Structure formats: C-alpha cells, structure tokens
Amino acid sequence: MQDALAQRLAELGIAPDRLAARGLQPYAEADAASLVLAEVNDAGREFHLLAGAAAAWQAMRDAAVADGVTLFLVSAFRSVARQHEIVAAKLARGQCLDTILAVSAAPGYSEHHTGCAIDIGTPGSPVLEEDFETTPAFAWLQQHAAGFGFVMSFGRDNASGYLYEPWHWCWQCAAPPLKGPTA
C-alpha cells in the first residue's frame, strides 16, 4: 500500500515530507467487506461506515430527532482513490495545492478512509460551511456527540493545519494512523 500511496501523492505533486511536517499520518482504508449502509439520502445517495460507527451515527441521529434537531450525512466513507479524484479535480480547476490541502486531505490521509468519519449537515444550513457552527444541530452535537463516541476532529487552530470544520466528526474507534514511511 505504501508504494501505491507514494505514487498517488507524486501524481498530485504532494511530497510526503510536506504532510509529515504537519504531523499527518496516513490512515488505512477500511475493507469494503467491513462497511455497512449507514444512511441513504433523499437523492438516493448511499453512505457507508464501519458497523460500529454506523450504529453510533444512527443512535445519535435518532437522539437528536427526539430533541427536535435534524442531522443528516453529507459524507461518510471515502476511498483513497476517491480522495485522489477530489484533489486532482481541484488541481485541474487551477486551485493552489496549499489551498487544497488546507481543506481536503491528501489521498491516504483522510479520516474518511477509516469508515469512522462523517460530515454532518442540517436543514437550512449550507453544507460543509463554517456557518454550521451557528446551528442548533452544532450546539446539540457539542453537548451530546461524545456520548455516542464522536469527536469533532478539526476545531479552530487545530494541529493538523486544516481549516475549521465544525461539520466533521469521527467515531473514536477509528484505526490509528498507519506507521512507517509514506514514500
């Protein structure tokens, strides 16, 4: 896997030492056989997670509904290949690599690869925008998400160097980052 990951990074012009300088480590991609359907949105898009993360998400979503708060998934499991496509598409649109890597993980470095990370939305709030922090959904998550095993990964001024992502939460049974060289 390390050789394939190094090749993907090289194709995008991302030096592994650049990621290491931010303290980032690659994450193992969840085995497709271990993923379960966590939710299907109104447009028919399926979201997959590890079974434990899916159960925790569903319990958390249902508890929020019981408190009058609606939560929905915007993103869940994402493969290394899909992450590569996302970064490559942004590069093709002329975005600067530094700008991209402030908001999108390099392929192999996303918590979404683990099958434990989710991006959450709520009706009436633009998805994947900082404004999410002003919603009752975010206030509810701050009070209750930890009880379901979720933590917000990228708070303000986080050590990883990502922009603030109040919508991104990770279930804490996530596999630890891979150890060893990335190139």
Provide the 3-class DSSP secondary structure of residue 27. coil
Q: What is the CATH number of domain 2-171?
A: 3.30.1380.10
pLDDT tens per residue, range 74-117: 999 999 999 999 999 999 999 999 999 999 999 999 999 999 99
pLDDT higher than threshold 60 for residue 175: no
pLDDT tens per residue, range 57-74: 999 999 999 999 999 999
On whether the pTM is more than 0.75, the answer is: yes
CA dist., res. 2 & res. 180, Å (int)? 9
Radius of gyration of the chain (CA): 16
Quickly tell me which residue has 């959904």 as its tokens.
137
